[in-house]
Every structure is written in C-alpha cells, then in structure tokens.
Structure 1
Amino acid sequence: MFTAPAALLAALLTALLSGAGAAGTAQAAPAAPQPQPVRAKGVLAQVHTAGRVEDAGSTVRYSWPGVYFEGRVRGTGVGVVLDDSAADYDVQVDGVTVATLVTPGRTTHWINGLRNSTHTVRLVKRNDSPWATSTFGGFVAAPGGAVLSRPAARSRQIEFIGDSLTVGYGNLSTSRDCTSEQVSRNTDADVSYGALTARRLGADYQLNAYSGLGMVRNYNGGSPDVTYRTFYDRALLNVPGDVWRNPGTWRPQIVVVHLGTNDFSTALNPGEPWTPDSLAAAYRTAYGEFLKKLRTRYGAATTIVAVGAGAFAGHVQQVVKARADAGDSRVRYWLLDDSGLDFLGCHWHYSAHDDRLIADRLTSFLGGLPTAR
C-alpha cells in the first residue's frame, strides 16, 4: 500500500502525542494508522493494475483480455466508471462476484447496500475485444464514503502469451456449438488457466492473448498479413503502431508462451505460401526469434516457459533445445498434458473444467522453477 508522506507524518504525530503522559503511568498502545482517502488525481493513483494500460489521467485505456483493476473503498456503495460497448466485465466486492456487466457502454455502475466499512473491489475484463479500445474511469464511493489508497502490488508477476486457449474462449459454454454472441457471453478470462495459475501462486499477471492468431500462420490461413507477433508490443490492439510503454513496474519472473495451435490445427489451403515442412521451419525460426525478444526485454533472470501441445510440441522442444545450446538456461519446455480434458468449450476449446485441470498441472510446474526475483 502506498501512503502519502503527509499521512505518514500525521499518523506518527498522533502516535507520539497519544503516548505522552505522566511518568510511571501505563499508556495504551498507539492505534494503527487508518486507511486514508485518495487525494491524488488520476485513476492509477487509486487502483492497482498489472495489465497493459495507457494512462490518460482521469481514465485508462486498454485492449487485452483479463485486464483487472483493484481498489479499496469505505462506505455503503461503490461506483464503477466504464466506457466499453464491446467487452464484458465482472465486478467483485470482498472476493465475491456481485455483478456481470455485458457490454456496459458509457456508465457508472453502482453496487449499493454494502456494510458501512472498508471493502476491496475488483473489476476484470472477461473477454477479448481486439477491435475496440476499452476505457476505465476508476471507482467512486457512495455519499459519505471514500475511495482509499490502492492495494499493494504482489511480489510475484507472471505473463501469459497465447491465443484463444489462453483467453478462455467460450470456457463457460455448455455446448461446443456457439454463435459469436454465445462465444462472447461464455468467455471468462478470469477463470482461464493463466488467471487461475497466477492466483494460486499469489502473482499479478498479464494475459496477452489474441484469439485466432499464430506465430507465423493464423487459424485456417486467415489474415496472412498479420500474426500474433504483429500485436504483441501494443497496449491498444486496434491502433496500428501503438507501443505499450512499460512503466517500470512490470518485471515478470516467469513468462509462459503457448502459441502454435492456430499455426498447425488446420490443413493448408490452396494459395498459401507453405508446405508442411516450410511452415514448420518458419514456425521454429520465428519462435526462436520471439524468445530472444523476450529475453532482451526482461533480462537474464526471467524464466521463459515454452508450452508444447499436439502437432507443434516437437517443434517447441527443438526451439528450447536451440536456446539451451546457445547458453540460455532459463528457457524451459513444458508439455501440456491433455489427459482428462473434455474440450467442451465453444468450438472445442478448453472448458472451465479443463482450465482448472491445466492450472493444477501448470501451478505445480511453475512452483518448482527457480526465480531470482
């Protein structure tokens, strides 16, 4: 928790004055400093977030799925200020989901009737909407209450890089057959394997995942002019040339890369510039270069976990071996064990059951890795 110097000084003076008294008289223990209302301007002064956001002062803008904002309020109600007609959100108070907002638009959504005390509040973006920019305007307190200083950041950070399987695409669905509307309503990044794994390890996280994109080839060969790598550097996915500027607080100890399903899951179409061998070679080359980029970005202490599954598992193994042979000892291979998965999410994606099972296995693996930070 970050506390303004003036508040610290006031708390210290209060403690000192309350301790003054006649010699030999027992003194009551000084009261602990109380949470102070936020007086600084700007959304990021009142909330904790680990996501890729662009700071616009009174608002923040973002695009990636699973971006979350955490705050604290005192009083009987909290308002959530949003401008988003594309994505869905969950609002959680004291660890319980109290509202799901479906494409809320420009609004202040109120949660009222709370106990008159201090509450934690969390807003999380459930699905991916890369064609749009989302805007959050912060939390506001009900009359008589106050927005308090933001929660402290967690000491551990994990970044998840992937496609729709990492987004949590359709993971709440009860059917594999889904319309686009059903996919949107039944996607919940907050219960994806990445979000679950991070929470089990007590970590802040980013879900930098984009449905349908691959390392060099997208699903069924679509949109051949772009790949996942086109968008990785961005905060705002629908703004060409946008570059997220790390505020210096994002230094993940672990980065998990799960890309390859879209490259290999569909047969090559006539007119695509690949043969099976040339696609595999291009994938391995691009994957190796992407790992080098991550190493340059985050430094030698970050452990990079490359996930292998299905048709691309062997290619990922080769890439990891090449990095190890080049002296990079902090790139690890993890084979995603799909035993027990039902793939009951929309269009044969992971279900919420599958996400939990994968999180169990990945948590165990990541928990055993050495981390220097």
Structure 2
Amino acid sequence: MLVASAAALVLTAPSAVATAAAPGGHGPAASVHTAGRVKDAGDVLQYSWPGVYFEGRIRGTGVGVVLDDPAADYDVQVDGSTVATLVTPGRTTHWVDGLRDGVHTVRLVKRNDTPWSTSAFGGFVAAPGGAVLARPAARGRQIEFVGDSLTVGYGNLSTSRDCDGEQLKRTTDADVSYGALTARELGADYQINAYSGLGMVRNYNGGSPDVTYRTFYDRALLNVPGDVWQNPGTWRPRLVVVHLGTNDFSTPVGPGEPWTDESLAAAYRSAYGGFLHKLRARYGPGTTLVAVGAGPFAGHVQQVVGELTGAGDRRVRYWPLDDTGFDHTGCHWHYSAHDHRLLADRLTAFLRDLPIRW
C-alpha cells in the first residue's frame, strides 16, 4: 500500500449524506472555513481542484465528515494529526469516534486531482451530545499556486517511478506538495489551482490541442464547460505563484502539431504575458506575482518578467527553480515528497525576502 505516514487507510461504508448543523446559518458554508474554489449549493459545497480543504470546530467525543465523492481521496485530520485516509469514499458520513470529550479542530483535505468529477462536501457533524461550533478564523495571509502536475503533487508519495493509474491516484497528495508546505511555513491560506498534463499553450506530448490550462483557470468545477468561479470577495491573495511550462516543452513537437520550436516559444511567451496581465487585473497592483522558471522554459519566463518590469510592474518577480538534490522518485519522474520539501524550503526563503504587502 502506497500511503505515507501512520494514517489509517479507510474505506468508509456508504450511508445517507447528512447536512451539517451550523450555528447562525444553514449548510456547511456557515460552519467551515475554506479558502478553496467552491460553489455553495446549499446543503453541500462543490469543488474540483486538488488540495481544497475545509476546517471546522466541534465539541464532543466524535465528528462525522459528510461527503459525496466517487473519485477523490481525502485525509481527515483532528487536532493537527491525520486520523484517516478515505479512498474514493462515495456518498457517506465517515465517523471519527473515541475523542476526548472537549473542543476539537477538524480538517478535511482533498489529496488528488480529479478534474473529470465534481466533489461535494456536506460539512462536519457532531456525535450525539456534542455540537458544531463556530468556524475557525481565516488566516491573515493568502497565496494562490497555479501549475500542472508538479504543483498538484503528482505521485509524490510513490516509492517507485513506475506507476499504474491506481498507484498514481493513491500516491498523489496535494497536502504535502510544495505549495501546501510553503503556505504552512508562511501561515497562509492557499489555493492549489493546478491541472496535470496541461500547459500554457501546449499540453503534454501535444495532447488535447483544443484546450490548455487557460481554458480551465476561471472555473470552480473543471468538468462543467463554461463554469466560472464566483469569488465571494474573501479571496484576495497578496501572492500568486505561477509554475507552468513543463508540459509545453518537455516533449518534442510532433509532426502533426501546428508548431515549430520557434512558433511554440513565441506563443508561450505571448500567452504567459497575457496570463500575468490577467492576474494583475484580477488582484490589483498590490499583489506580488512570482513566475517560476525551470529547464527549457526558464529563459522564456525570465524574458516575459523582464518585459513587464521594464513596463513598470514592480510586483512581478522571476524565480529560477533550483532542483539540486532532487531525486525525482515520484510517479513518472515527478517530484517526490522529499523534493517538494526541498522546493518549499527554497521558495519560502525566496518569498520571505520579498516586500509582500500581506
């Protein structure tokens, strides 16, 4: 079994989905804290991106986690410790019992990327005799991470580079990706808006040429064409980290693709610049944009950042990714958990030196 840490691997038995009771409101949105891109559907919160997390507080000896998700895996954490890993739980209420009678914090986090499916969370419920308490306060800092499989945490818990589809699903954990680790180091709420296999203008090996990462960026529900996430006004990140380009350039242009090496590079730079302009318009002049460069696309990213800073944008920065010491032992040569830790430490050190207006 390919699950990290001492967490129990649990398949929950299906049961009726309950609605979380909430103080001073209705539905889970009233009693949980989340920074992710979610849609409030009343009795449930719907979402698609990896790493989406929900935090709550209960009083009592047990807590139920209400889910409807046939595709994704989750970690359940109580008082800072992982107590269960739920594998494609389906429609269920998973119970954590035997807690010390008192107040507890509970956190649910979506481990992997399932862009073909919509996930639904119905909130936390307290065991008989207990109560759901007011939701935890939001953190004062917010960071948005934009990327592909490297940002998702693709196969980062695997002990082998050779993975079939099931191994990949079970060993992908966005909660120990460099984004999540960096955010925790900086005491920030975060979004991991990452989609495996997609690039800025070209996807891995030229696949699915009718879409790119930019097709999906605005969505909350990735499998709903035309969906647009409605920011409730609480998501105002003062830092956005963009790590896109590996899929554009990691495989050679095939004979059936509409690119030459030169036209691909030019299109990438143009789209990258346009994407940073979009982020600037969305979040305003006070948000710092960090553009990550690595491998064959590093020079292109650096050029785009140079053009923007030359035009007067002083809050866009280029960061050359240093992968010295990486073992790339995740699935299909992706970052391992060890690599994500190194990357998070290096990124955190870089960010601490920036004059970010938190």
Give the whole-Å Cα distance in 2 for the aligned partners of 1:180 and 1:266. Answer: 21
2:148 counterpart letter in structure 1: D
Q: Which runs of 4+ in 1 moved over 6 A?
A: none
Q: Does 1:276 align with 2:254?
A: no
How far 1:369 moved relative to its partner?
1.1
The equivalent position to 1:68 in structure 2, one of 25, 36, 53, is: 53
Give the whole-Å Cα distance in 2 for the aligned partners of 1:155 and 1:88. Answer: 28
Give the whole-Å Cα distance in 2 for the aligned partners of 1:67 and 1:260. Answer: 23
2:8 corresponding residue in structure 1: none
Q: How does 1:288-327 map to 2 (within 5 A)?
A: 288-327=273-312
2:110 corresponding residue in structure 1: 125
Q: How does 1:174-185 map to 2 (within 5 A)?
A: 174-185=159-170
1:237 counterpart letter in structure 2: L
Q: Does 1:146 align with 2:141?
A: no
The equivalent position to 1:110 in structure 2, one of 95, 102, 125, is: 95
How far 1:150 moved relative to its partner?
0.2
2:3 corresponding residue in structure 1: none
2:288 counterpart letter in structure 1: T
Give the whole-Å Cα distance in 1 for the aligned partners of 2:83 and 2:226. Answer: 37
Q: Does 1:165 align with 2:153?
A: no
2:237 corresponding residue in structure 1: 252
TM-score w.r.t. the length of structure 2 is 0.94
2:291 counterpart letter in structure 1: A
1:96 corresponding residue in structure 2: 81
Q: Secondary structure at the match of 1:263?
A: helix
1:341 corresponding residue in structure 2: 326
Q: Secondary structure at the match of 2:328?
A: coil
The equivalent position to 2:69 in structure 1, one of 63, 84, 87, is: 84
Give the whole-Å Cα distance in 2 for the aligned partners of 1:356 and 1:286. Answer: 30
Give the whole-Å Cα distance in 1 for the aligned partners of 2:137 and 2:353. Answer: 25
Q: How does 1:33-52 map to 2 (within 5 A)?
A: 38-52=23-37
1:220 corresponding residue in structure 2: 205
Q: Secondary structure at the match of 2:230?
A: coil
Q: Secondary structure at the match of 1:113?
A: coil
The equivalent position to 2:341 in structure 1, one of 351, 356, 361, is: 356
Q: Does 1:237 align with 2:222?
A: yes
TM-score w.r.t. the length of structure 1 is 0.90
In percent, how many aligned pairs have the same letter?
Answer: 80
1:38 counterpart letter in structure 2: P
RMSD of equivalent CA atoms: 0.9
Give the whole-Å Cα distance in 2 for the aligned partners of 1:368 and 1:69. Answer: 30
Q: Name structure 2 gaps, 5 residues minimum.
A: 1-21
2:220 counterpart letter in structure 1: A
Give the whole-Å Cα distance in 2 for the aligned partners of 1:367 and 1:242. Answer: 35
Give the whole-Å Cα distance in 1 for the aligned partners of 2:356 and 2:43. Answer: 36
Q: Secondary structure at the match of 2:179?
A: helix
2:210 counterpart letter in structure 1: D
The equivalent position to 1:56 in structure 2, one of 29, 41, 47, is: 41
2:9 corresponding residue in structure 1: none
Q: Does 1:186 align with 2:208?
A: no
Give the whole-Å Cα distance in 2 for the aligned partners of 1:317 and 1:39. Answer: 49
How far 1:367 moved relative to its partner?
1.2
2:105 counterpart letter in structure 1: T
**Which has the higher Rg, Structure 1 or Structure 2?**
1
Number of equivalenced pairs: 338
2:281 counterpart letter in structure 1: T
Measured against aligned partners, the alpha-carbon deviations of 1:223-261 in whole angstroms (never above 9, x if no partner) come to 000000000000000000000010000000100000000
Give the whole-Å Cα distance in 2 for the aligned partners of 1:263 and 1:191. Answer: 25
How far 1:40 moved relative to its partner?
1.6
2:248 counterpart letter in structure 1: D
1:33 corresponding residue in structure 2: none
Q: Secondary structure at the match of 1:71?
A: strand
Q: Name structure 1 gaps, 5 residues minimum.
A: 1-36
Give the whole-Å Cα distance in 1 for the aligned partners of 2:215 and 2:318. Answer: 24
Give the whole-Å Cα distance in 2 for the aligned partners of 1:279 and 1:273. Answer: 9
1:130 counterpart letter in structure 2: P
How far 1:39 moved relative to its partner?
3.7
Give the whole-Å Cα distance in 1 for the aligned partners of 2:286 and 2:325. Answer: 34
